[in-house]
Amino acid sequence: EPEVTQTPSHQVTQMGQEVILRCVPISNHLYFYWYRQILGQKVEFLVSFYNNEISEKSEIFDDQFSVERPDGSNFTLKIRSTKLEDSAMYFCASRFRDISGELFFGEGSRLTVL
């Protein structure tokens, strides 16, 4: 069964370092998303991506964040200079069509910033 895959499953980094989280969405999906979930808190929307550009982003997604789909397969989230408060689970998701199309989530990448 097709699935969204994410790497790494867990990354520990020092504050101020750059981090790249990678996602491989399901191959025929058109809409891509990054969410994060700080431990014990609700899932938060970061950004949505369609047709090779950001379609929507939240207040959390500031200049320290960027997304890219470099090769038509991978969908990456980059954090330029990590802060302690960036520690969270980051989930990638994709769907074939928008509005009530099923959203498929990856298993998440746990980021720990020390």
- Residue numbers of the site for other proteins (CB under 8 A)? 4, 33, 35, 41-45, 48, 55-56, 58, 89, 91, 93, 98-100, 102-108, 110
- CB of 71 or CB of 99, closer to other proteins: 99
- CB of 56 or CB of 68, closer to other proteins: 56
- CB of 40 or CB of 70, closer to other proteins: 40
Residues in Cβ contact with 40 at an 8 Å cutoff, skipping those fewer than 6 apart: none
CB of 16 to other proteins, least distance (A): 27
What is the Cα–Cα distance from 96 to 104, expressed in whole angstroms? 9
In order of 22, 36, 53, 100, 113, the CA distances from 10 in angstroms are: 12, 14, 27, 30, 11
CB of 2 to other proteins, least distance (A): 14
Closest CA relative to residue 89, chosen from 42, 39, 50:
39
CB of 14 to other proteins, least distance (A): 23
The token duo for 97 is 């069509």
- CB of 52 or CB of 100, closer to other proteins: 100
